[in-house]
């Protein structure tokens, strides 16, 4: 079962199919509230149905390679992380102009407590945690509503502290003039840095101390096993957004087949726990901003 509805329907639809023992792939965010998310976690972990969440940017081969480099210590001690997700499609009050996507994404009853922070900020947080292998331990958020009359945030700036000591920034905006879908991440360690941009998804920049920047390109044999497994085409052939989604689905279907054979699933994709973390990220970012941009544990 695939759940690709507006946010307020994720939980009731997923809950019904999980209760019937049917495997579920759900769009993000996991649910409308943290309480709904916790209920879905209980259903998944007490039942037999598998569950995947489409944080699709984790499916890119270059992102898998970045994660492997961090895990293998190629960056040294991780010191700073900067993640950005900016768009401009909500610069105008499209929700008042008949745009259905804008209407539900800016409606608290259908989108949840977060606007921009929930719609794309959760993708940025997911990418950060996936690549670094570390959770966001605490955050300090300043959320803004730039377009007059809009009921949810459309711009956000956050300071983050990661488990293990690294610090960084997370910014997201849907009113950034001229930006299409600018998701990027930069990591800095004691030995090297990494940089990836979703609009140029097949290139990972590796910046070792005192050496020229190296371009690590998707599809080559020098990529790690995880990146090679996620690549579908020879080097130089563009792969992107749809293939990243496909990698999530492919890994999930492989687990469905393993379960049918009586084998343990590998769960090499975001799941219900990652979805719950996303909901807590939204809730704490909103709470932090409403309290005057104070630090909140996550």
pLDDT value for 238: 86
Could you tell me the two tokens for 12? 């009731």
Distance CA 203, CA 125 (A): 21
Give me the sheet containing 2-3, strands edge to edge.
2-3, 24-26, 51-53
Please, are residues 143 and 286 in contact by the beta-carbon 8 Å criterion?
yes
Name the residue among 69, 49, 67, 70 with its Cα closest to residue 59: 67
Query: In terms of DSSP bridges, do strands 203-208 and 214-217 run parallel, antiparallel, or are they unpaired?
Result: antiparallel
Could you tell me the two tokens for 59? 């499916």
**What is the pTM for the complete model shown?**
0.96
Q: How far is CA 173 from CA 46, 102, 125, 156, 224, in A?
A: 38, 14, 14, 6, 33
User: Rg of the chain's alpha carbons, rounded to an integer?
Assistant: 19
Distance CA 138, CA 199 (A): 29
Distance CA 256, CA 100 (A): 34
Domains defined for the chain, CATH in brackets: 2-56+241-271 (3.40.50.720), 61-237+276-297 (3.30.360.10)
The continuous run of DSSP H or E covering 275 comes out as: helix 272-290
Q: How far is CA 263 from CA 35, 99, 254, 255, in A?
A: 31, 46, 11, 9
Distance CA 67, CA 63 (A): 6
Please, are residues 60 and 216 in contact by the beta-carbon 8 Å criterion?
no
CA 153 to the chain's CA centroid = 18
Please, are residues 5 and 28 in contact by the beta-carbon 8 Å criterion?
no
DSSP codes joined into one string, 113-133: S-SHIIIIIHHHHHHHHHHHS
pLDDT value for 1: 83
Low-confidence spans in the chain with pLDDT less than 70: none
Tens of pLDDT, residues 216-239: 999 999 999 999 999 988 999 888
Name the residue among 81, 59, 62 with its Cα closest to residue 193: 81
Could you tell me the two tokens for 15? 């809950």
Distance CA 258, CA 209 (A): 43
Give the CA angle between residues 197, 232, 212 to the nearest 5°: 40
Give me the sheet containing 192-197, strands edge to edge.
214-217, 203-208, 192-197, 182-189, 78-86, 167-173, 155-162, 136-144, 295-297
């Amino acid at each position: 079962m695939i759940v690709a509805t507006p946010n307020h329907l994720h939980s009731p639809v997923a809950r019904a199919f999980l209760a019937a023992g049917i495997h579920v792939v759900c769009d993000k965010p996991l649910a409308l509230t943290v309480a709904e998310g916790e209920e879905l976690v209980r259903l998944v972990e007490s039942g037999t149905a598998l569950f995947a969440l489409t944080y699709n940017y984790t499916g890119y081969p270059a992102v898998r390679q970045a994660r492997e480099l961090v895990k293998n210590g190629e960056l040294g001690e991780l010191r700073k992380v900067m993640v950005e997700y900016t768009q401009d499609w909500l610069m105008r009050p499209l929700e008042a102009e008949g745009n259905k996507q804008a209407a539900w994404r800016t409606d608290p009853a259908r989108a949840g407590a977060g606007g921009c922070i929930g719609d794309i900020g959760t993708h940025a947080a997911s990418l950060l945690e996936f690549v670094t292998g570390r959770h966001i331990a605490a955050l300090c958020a300043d959320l803004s509503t730039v377009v007059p009359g809009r009921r949810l945030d459309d711009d956000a700036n956050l300071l983050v502290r990661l488990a293990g000591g690294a610090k960084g920034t997370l910014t997201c905006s849907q009113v950034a003039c001229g930006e299409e879908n600018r998701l990027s991440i930069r990591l800095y360690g004691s030995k090297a840095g990494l940089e990836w941009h979703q609009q140029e998804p097949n290139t990972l920049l590796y910046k070792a101390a005192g050496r020229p920047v190296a371009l690590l390109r998707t599809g080559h044999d020098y990529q790690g096993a995880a990146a090679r497994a996620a690549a579908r085409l020879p080097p130089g052939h563009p792969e992107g957004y749809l293939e990243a989604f496909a990698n999530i689905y492919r890994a999930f279907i492989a687990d469905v087949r393993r379960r049918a054979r009586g084998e343990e699933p590998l769960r090499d994709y975001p799941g219900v726990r990652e979805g719950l973390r996303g909901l807590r990220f939204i809730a704490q970012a909103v709470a932090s901003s409403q309290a005057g941009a104070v630090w909140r544990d996550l």
